[in-house]
Amino acid sequence: MVTYHQVTEKDFDELALLLSNQWATPEIRDNPIAMKHSGLMSLFYFMVHHTFTCVAEDNGRDIGLLICTNLKERPIDMKYAKLLIREVAFMICNPETRDDGLAWGEYTQLAQELEERSVHGIDAELELFVVDPEYRGQGIGKRMFRSMIEFFKKTGTENFFLHTDTSCTYQFYERRGMNRIGQLESDIKSADIDGIDMFIYAAQVDDIK
């Protein structure tokens, strides 16, 4: 039975593996230590400003994660900021993980540039959304997404946006009624894709299907 809860410390290792399995390059996947720290870096990066989180769990195994933030408040969780600094230092200082760490830095820089060109006057951001491929098509992602929309409505959030790319199932957002407002080509490698296209989608909360 699938249950849902907010992120807690006990989720860290499983969520790190979930994220690495989604985006890590083949080189990283062959290295368990690199897999762990690459995933933790990603997790803590998105948790620094989190406002709402949702973890999907099936019989003790974390199979999905959603993180969003209120851009008007833009809270900073210092616990996660310190954990992020630790993971970034590990990734950059170790030869086995340095290339992945640098690629992550390049990706986030390009994403920021695309955001600055495309996003104006939006209340919130869906920072991270991933479901284990084995569990897709079962309505789990829809329920997680809907829980975020309900949170937005309760907190008076009128609109939101998100980053995605061609390594992700971005069509999911189009089916929910979101519109692509930005696009950028890159030569960054993600998972098994050489050169991903980066997208920004946005929507009014009340327009979500």
Asked if 65 and 53 touch (Cβ cutoff 8 Å), the reply is yes
SS3 6: coil
Total number of domains in the chain: 1
pLDDT at 135 over 80: yes
Q: Which domain holds residue 62?
A: 2-207
Global pTM?
A: 0.93
Read off the pLDDT of each residue in 156-162 and give the average, rounded to a whole number: 98
Q: What is the CATH number of the domain that holds 142?
A: 3.40.630.30
**Residue 134 corresponds to which tokens in the numbers above?**
């084995």
**Arithmetic mean of pLDDT over the chain:** 92
pLDDT band for position 154 (50/70/90)? very high
> Dihedral of CA 85/87/90/96: which sign?
negative
pLDDT (tens digit per residue) in 166-179: 888 899 999 999 99
